[in-house]
Amino acid sequence: MMPIVQWLGHSGVAQAIHNSSWLFPFIEIFHLLALALLGGSVIMVDLRFFGLVMTDKELPELSRDVQPWLRLSLAVILTSGFLLFISEAAKMYSNEAFRFKMLSLALALIFTFTIHARFTRSESGASFSGKLVALTSMALWACVGLGGRAIGFV
């Protein structure tokens, strides 16, 4: 893994971001905006499991409506996150918080597109297991966010 990380870190794009005084915060703006849209989409669908928001819409319909924006925000947040990562590749690779974030991210993505997706397609959102799925989803995404916040502090 380390050779790939080093190669990424030495690439032209990574060096350009690393050596620029404004590119890193500039990319962070898009990372944060995508975070808002992604977080908002996740929270809205998961709160709907509990019947707490958009109650006039059925869960499958709300989930379908939000889906394109969830995917767009994921594309933006993963791309911007990748660029931020490679600009500090070696440092990030050994950062405990970053590893925790990537592990949480992998789990959150898998969960969202498998179990969570199955529950949003059925009407069984209001069931106990549905609520458990919604809680798990919010907890996994919160771990990604907390891991991200912690990167700068460990």
Partner 1 sequence: MTAWFEWLANTPMSVSIRESLWGYPIIETVHVLGLCLFLGFTMLLDLRLLGLSMKRTPASEVCGKLEPWMVGGFAIMIVSGGLLFYGDPAKFYGSIFMRIKFAMLILAGVNVLIFKLGTYRRVKDWDLRDKTPSGAKIAAGLSLVLWFGIVAAGRAIAYFLPPG
The residue ranges that bind partner 1 (CB under 8 A) are 25, 28-29, 32-33, 35-44, 47, 53-57, 61-62, 65-66, 68-69, 142, 145-146, 149-150, 153
CB nearer to partner 1: give 93 or 141. 141
DSSP state of 124: G
Q: Nearest distance from residue 42's CB to partner 1, in Å?
A: 8
Identity of the amino acid at 122: S
What is the residue whose two structure tokens read 């709160």? 47
CB nearer to partner 1: give 9 or 147. 147
CB nearer to partner 1: give 78 or 142. 142
Q: Give CB contacts under 8 A, 24+ apart, made by 144-149.
A: 144/101, 144/104, 144/105, 144/108, 145/35, 145/39, 147/97, 147/98, 147/100, 147/101, 147/102, 147/104, 148/97, 148/101
What is the residue whose two structure tokens read 């609520």? 131
Q: Nearest distance from residue 80's CB to partner 1, in Å?
A: 12
CB nearer to partner 1: give 65 or 88. 65
